[in-house]
Structure 1
């Protein structure tokens, strides 16, 4: 994250922590789906993320929810979701909170 935009990027991450995966009932940040957030000088926020599986039926729903959350942050004018498959997501990317909430131990 760029030094000058660190505060706004933290606010974006806080906003993304309120976007809940409806299938799992856990937010995208704790699920480990958000890999990076960058905000440029023009207020374009690029969210680099992945999904738990390719062909996820919730892709459109999540894109809409992410866009709404991100552009709701002061200083962000637009949102671009950069969906990546590398590195591949696995349960090790989940926070301890998410693993406990889903009953995953270890």
Structure 2
């Protein structure tokens, strides 16, 4: 994950932990969906993914990310970009998330 913009970007990342993937039941940070966060002059840019390009929860996830980031003091605007390059794989999850979902490397 790329975090640019210091402490504020780290706070945004922490705030995104409340966004839960409805299919997998874990937060998008631990699932490895967040590819990058940058914050400059109160504007946050977030690059993220979902499990597949056809994921029906994509709109829900983007809305949750935007709303959660806007709740961070100092963030005035949010731009969320969905990408599927690189494609998401279970290897992007934290070790705890893989263990909780019983994914093996």
Question: Normalising by the residue count of structure 1, what TM-score does the alignment of the two structures yield?
Answer: 0.91
Secondary structure of 2:8's counterpart equals helix
Deviation at 1:105, TM superposition (A): 2.8
Partner of 1:96: 95
Partner of 2:36: 36
Matches within 5 A, 1:23-102: 23-41=23-41, 43-102=42-101
Cα RMSD (Å): 1.1
Deviation at 1:88, TM superposition (A): 1.4
Q: Residues of 1 paired with 2:67 and 2:32: CA distance?
A: 20
Secondary structure of 2:24's counterpart equals coil
The list of structure 1 runs, each at least 4 consecutive aligned residues, that deviate by more than 3 angstroms after superposition, is: none
Q: How many pairs were matched up?
A: 103
Deviation at 1:84, TM superposition (A): 1.2
5+ residue gaps, structure 1: none
Q: Residues of 2 paired with 1:101 and 1:14: CA distance?
A: 20
Q: Residues of 1 paired with 2:88 and 2:80: CA distance?
A: 16
Q: In the alignment, is the contact (CA less than 8 A) between 2:62 and 2:80 conserved in 1?
A: yes
